[in-house]
């Protein structure tokens, strides 16, 4: 039922947006696009996915390693579920897939994925804070967002670095959360503690994963800037560092289907000083392709991971 509601919300937002957009002009934008930049920008899905898969390999504990191809299959299968589940919950399902295939225990696999997504979120916020600081035309709205994103990034770093602060945060959350969420927060607290103990035990590994996450999100934001160039539009790259993460964060709100609608509206709102709403709508479609293309690539693998059965250990191997 929730999926139907989110789909209806997405459709409602899109109907409102596209009723105010020149659809003929939208088609002409794609017809007249820079095809070389379009191929380059869409093709960046491949190296981004491969680097993300390599990072998943590096996250595995000593003695437990994934083949590079297997890591990429897990990433792609999770991408399918991210298209239909709110707030990137498909990545949490990846923890179940890893347990089912015998790669890790359930608690450690969840800890690994929680750490992976925490690094992703903090890396996205890092680039967003950097972009907002240098953004040239900040009004009250942008000063407010700069403060909010900066505080979110700092709090995230503190929670990642301090086990005691994280425990206090979870205890406070369990007190104020609805009854049906308290058990989930308790399980997440246990996983977070395991993650903290495991990853902070190896500072070199932690630095490598952090640097890789920052690089991955730089490539994501670079891809969106290439989309803008492909549409024969323009905004300075440092402006894109501020605006595109805000649109991505809007798409993470658990209101719509795969962020469709909220992300498009945010792109139209934030990029209006640089190009018109029709071009921003085209950019929204290309940003959706960033999620759609890996999901299509993951469809052949989803069935083998979704099959419920006894965990297998045959896929574990050394590279």
pLDDT number for residue 312: 43
In this predicted structure, the answer to whether residue 61 has a pLDDT above a threshold of 50 is yes
Asked if 104 and 64 count as a contact pair (C-beta separation under 8 A), the reply is yes
Asked whether the predicted pLDDT for residue 50 surpasses 80, the reply is yes
The whole-angstrom separation of Cα 13 and Cα 248 is 16
Q: What is the tens place of the pLDDT at every residue in 72-111?
A: 999 999 998 888 776 567 777 888 888 777 666 666 788 7
Encode 174-212: b = buried (16+ Cβ within 10 Å), e = exposed. beeeeeeeeeebeebbebbbbbbebbeeeeebbeebbeb
Average pLDDT, the chain: 86
Note the pLDDT of residue 187: 78
N residues, the chain: 319
User: How confident is the model at residue 307, as a pLDDT?
Assistant: 59
On the question of pLDDT at 35 being above 60, the answer is yes
Q: Which residue has the higher pLDDT, 211 or 163?
A: 211
Taking only the tens place, the pLDDT of each residue in 167-203 is 888 888 888 888 877 887 787 788 778 778 777 877 8
Res 246: pLDDT? 94
How far, CA to CA in Å, does 257 sit from each of 29, 83, 85, 182, 262?
25, 7, 8, 25, 9
Model pTM? 0.88
What would the pLDDT profile of 140-149 be if each residue is shown by its tens digit? 888 899 999 9
Task: Give the pLDDT mean for 251-275.
Answer: 87
Give, for 235, the enclosing helix (H) or strand (E): none
pLDDT tier for residue 315 given thresholds of 50, 70 and 90: very low
pLDDT of residue 303: 78
């Amino acid at each position: 039922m929730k999926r139907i509601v989110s789909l209806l919300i997405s459709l409602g937002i899109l109907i409102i947006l596209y009723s105010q957009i020149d659809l003929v002009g939208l088609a002409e934008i794609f017809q007249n696009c820079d095809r070389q930049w379009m191929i380059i920008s869409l093709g960046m899905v491949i190296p981004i996915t491969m680097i993300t898969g390599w990072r998943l390999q590096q996250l595995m504990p000593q003695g437990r390693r994934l083949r590079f191809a297997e890591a990429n299959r897990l990433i792609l299968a999770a991408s399918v579920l991210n298209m239909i589940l709110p707030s990137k919950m498909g990545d949490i399902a990846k923890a179940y897939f890893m347990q089912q295939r015998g790669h890790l225990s359930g608690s450690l696999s969840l800890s690994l994925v929680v750490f992976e997504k925490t690094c992703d979120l903090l890396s996205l916020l890092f680039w967003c804070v950097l972009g907002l600081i240098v953004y040239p035309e900040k009004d009250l709205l942008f000063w407010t967002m700069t403060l909010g994103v900066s505080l979110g990034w700092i709090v995230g770093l503190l929670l990642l670095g301090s086990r005691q602060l994280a425990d206090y945060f979870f205890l406070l959350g369990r007190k104020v959360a609805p009854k049906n969420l308290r058990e989930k927060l308790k399980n997440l607290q246990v996983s977070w503690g395991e993650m903290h103990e495991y990853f902070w035990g190896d500072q070199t590994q932690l630095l490598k994963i952090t640097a890789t996450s920052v690089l991955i999100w730089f490539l994501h934001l670079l891809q969106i800037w290439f989309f803008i160039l492909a549409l024969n539009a323009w905004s300075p790259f440092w402006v894109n560092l501020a605006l595109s993460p805000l649109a991505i964060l809007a798409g993470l709100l658990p209101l719509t289907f795969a962020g469709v609608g909220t992300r498009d509206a945010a792109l139209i709102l934030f990029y209006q000083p640089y190009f018109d709403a029709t071009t921003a709508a085209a950019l929204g479609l290309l940003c959706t392709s960033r999620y759609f293309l890996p999901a299509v690539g993951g469809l052949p693998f989803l069935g083998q991971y979704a099959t419920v059965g006894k965990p297998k250990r045959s896929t574990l191997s050394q590279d």
